[in-house]
């Protein structure tokens, strides 16, 4: 498919000047991910955005001329547009206009694979586009669709509002059923198993780390939102302890509220985690801002009580001698390096020992099956045969509710 020519528009205000450069760079990355070609970025400094057209009449005329000069197919604003603003601008420049939120929703539509993911995208897009239907018909009938029109599809958006509201109600009902099924699956999967969640800014390398640790063969690419649907795999530590590892959708600066709601289920996967691995791109010039974005969202989602290990990734792209971490505890790795698995495993192991409960048990010589179970269900750190008693002394760490430890404690009490 031929790439659409896109012009980006951003206004630097007194409120946004600090992160404006990064935000525009991110918008460029998002456009590339949506298969668009950025031919020009129009930026303006103002105390605040224009209430009618974001950029004011003079700049709007300049934008119209740029659209004609570059023969642009689409204009993307780095601001959430009201329905009226969107229509006013589109009528004047005579090409489709979308905003950052619609662009991100479009990428989500492009990437969703699971039934739930697709339903969540469709719901978010329909709810977002419902008040924006007026005047969109002539643009939605563009040949072959294009950026901002994927997902629910053109025909659905051109039907009347009542039909779309009915569709929204039906999707919400279906999502409830899917969510209930997923919750049952999650409860079965937990089965007292230690759960680790991968979180972090989009494109920090979560999927690459998932693949290094579990050989999961998940989609990994230098793109924003390469992963949308949560994926859970088993990871067996060298001692034999089996944990689950879940990859989640990447966070982003100014994550639209529609996406937090729409992908609540994706982030829900992280709610029951026993440990979070916060993956950070150590080479990013905007590292501190990206860290703060994730930390703020972790707080908003009530995950801040879960232990967090910060994994500084992409060490191969920086001078490690001068690297200064800002979050603790942490580990610095390059997921592309052969040593990364060992380094990360060691750091995770330390976190497990800090966050699990220590235990000491004695096993008879003939209780090999029990020993194998302890190796699989707990982090076994010491195993010693005592000739005097002909017993095995076993020490390790486990979740307080681990079935085998509870059973052994009950037997001792009796």
Q: Is 247 annotated among the ligand-binding residues?
A: yes
User: What are phi and psi for residue 213, nearest 5 degrees?
Assistant: -80, -35
Q: Is 145 annotated among the ligand-binding residues?
A: no
Q: Is 296 annotated among the ligand-binding residues?
A: no
Q: Is 137 annotated among the ligand-binding residues?
A: no
Full 3-state SS string of 130-188 = HHHCCCCHHHHCCCCCCCCCCCCCHHHHHCCHHHHHHHHHHHHHHHHHHHHHHHHHHHH
User: Angle CA(80)–CA(81)–CA(84) in degrees, nearest 5?
Assistant: 160
Q: Is 283 annotated among the ligand-binding residues?
A: no
DSSP state for residue 390 in the 8-state scheme: T
Q: Is 313 annotated among the ligand-binding residues?
A: yes
Q: What is the DSSP string of 268-313?
A: HTTTT-SEEEEEEETT-TTHHHHHHHHHHHHHHTT-TTS-EEEEEE
Q: Is 248 annotated among the ligand-binding residues?
A: yes
Q: Is 282 annotated among the ligand-binding residues?
A: no
CA-to-CA distance for 263 and 37, rounded, in angstroms? 27
Sequence-ordered list of residues with C-beta below 8 angstroms from that of 94, at least 6 positions apart, any chain: 64, 67
Q: Is 249 annotated among the ligand-binding residues?
A: yes
CA dihedral 387, 388, 391, 393 (to 10 degrees): -90
Q: Is 63 annotated among the ligand-binding residues?
A: no
User: What are phi and psi for residue 232, nearest 5 degrees?
Assistant: -115, 130
CA-to-CA distance for 360 and 380, rounded, in angstroms? 10
Q: Is 304 annotated among the ligand-binding residues?
A: no
Q: Is 19 annotated among the ligand-binding residues?
A: no
Give the Cβ contact number of residue 404 at 10 Å: 17
Q: Is 336 annotated among the ligand-binding residues?
A: yes
SS3 of 25, please? helix
Q: Is 124 annotated among the ligand-binding residues?
A: no
Q: Which residue in 195, 185, 209 sits closest to 246, CA to CA?
A: 195
CA-to-CA distance for 366 and 83, rounded, in angstroms? 73
> How far is the CA of 71 from the CAs of 78, 190, 214, in angstroms?
20, 54, 47
Cα diameter, the chain = 92
Q: Is 314 annotated among the ligand-binding residues?
A: yes
Q: Is 126 annotated among the ligand-binding residues?
A: no
Strand stretches in 18-165, DSSP E:
36-45, 74-77, 97-99
Q: Is 160 annotated among the ligand-binding residues?
A: no
Q: Is 315 annotated among the ligand-binding residues?
A: yes
Question: Residues annotated in the binding site, as ranges?
Answer: 200-207, 225-229, 247-250, 313-316, 334-336
| Binding site feature residues for Mg(2+) | 207, 227
- Positions at the binding site for GTP: 200-207, 225-229, 247-250, 313-316, 334-336
């Amino acid at each position: 498919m031929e790439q659409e020519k896109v012009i980006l528009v951003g206004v630097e205000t007194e409120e946004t000047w600090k992160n404006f450069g990064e935000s525009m760079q991110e918008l460029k990355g998002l456009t590339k991910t949506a298969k668009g070609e950025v031919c020009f970025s129009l930026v303006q400094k103002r105390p605040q955005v224009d209430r009618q057209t974001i950029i004011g009449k003079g700049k709007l005329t300049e934008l119209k001329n740029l659209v004609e000069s570059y023969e642009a197919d689409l204009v993307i604003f780095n601001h959430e547009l009201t329905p009226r603003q969107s229509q006013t601008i589109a009528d004047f420049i005579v090409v489709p206009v979308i905003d950052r939120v619609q662009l991100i929703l479009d990428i989500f539509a492009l990437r969703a694979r699971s039934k739930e993911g697709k339903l969540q995208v469709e719901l978010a897009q329909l709810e977002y586009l419902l008040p924006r239907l007026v005047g969109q018909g002539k643009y939605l009938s563009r040949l072959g669709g294009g950026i901002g029109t994927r997902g629910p599809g053109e025909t659905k958006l051109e039907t009347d509002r009542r039909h779309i509201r009915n569709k929204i109600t039906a999707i919400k009902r279906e999502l409830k059923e899917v969510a209930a099924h997923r919750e049952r699956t999650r409860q079965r999967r937990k089965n007292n198993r230690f759960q680790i969640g991968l979180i972090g800014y989009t494109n920090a390398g979560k999927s690459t780390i998932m693949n290094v640790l579990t050989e999961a063969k998940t989609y990994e690419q230098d793109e924003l939102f390469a992963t949308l649907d949560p994926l859970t795999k088993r990871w067996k530590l060298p001692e034999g302890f089996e944990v689950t590892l879940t990859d989640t959708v990447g966070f982003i600066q100014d994550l639209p509220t529609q996406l937090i709601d729409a992908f609540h289920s994706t982030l829900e996967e992280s709610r029951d985690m026993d440990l979070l691995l916060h993956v950070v791109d150590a080479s990013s010039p905007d590292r501190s801002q990206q860290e703060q974005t994730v930390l703020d969202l972790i707080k908003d989602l009530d995950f801040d009580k879960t232990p967090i290990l910060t994994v500084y990734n992409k060490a191969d792209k920086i001078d490690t001698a001068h690297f200064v971490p800002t979050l603790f505890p942490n580990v610095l790795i390059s997921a592309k390096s052969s040593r990364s698995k060992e380094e990360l495993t060691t750091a995770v192991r330390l976190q497990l020992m800090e966050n699990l409960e220590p235990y000491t048990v004695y096993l008879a010589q003939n209780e090999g099956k029990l020993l194998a179970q302890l190796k699989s269900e707990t982090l076994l750190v010491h195993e010693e045969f005592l000739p005097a008693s002909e017993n095995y002394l076993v020490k390790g760490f486990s979740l307080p509710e681990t079935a085998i430890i509870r059973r052994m404690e009950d037997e001792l009490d009796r």
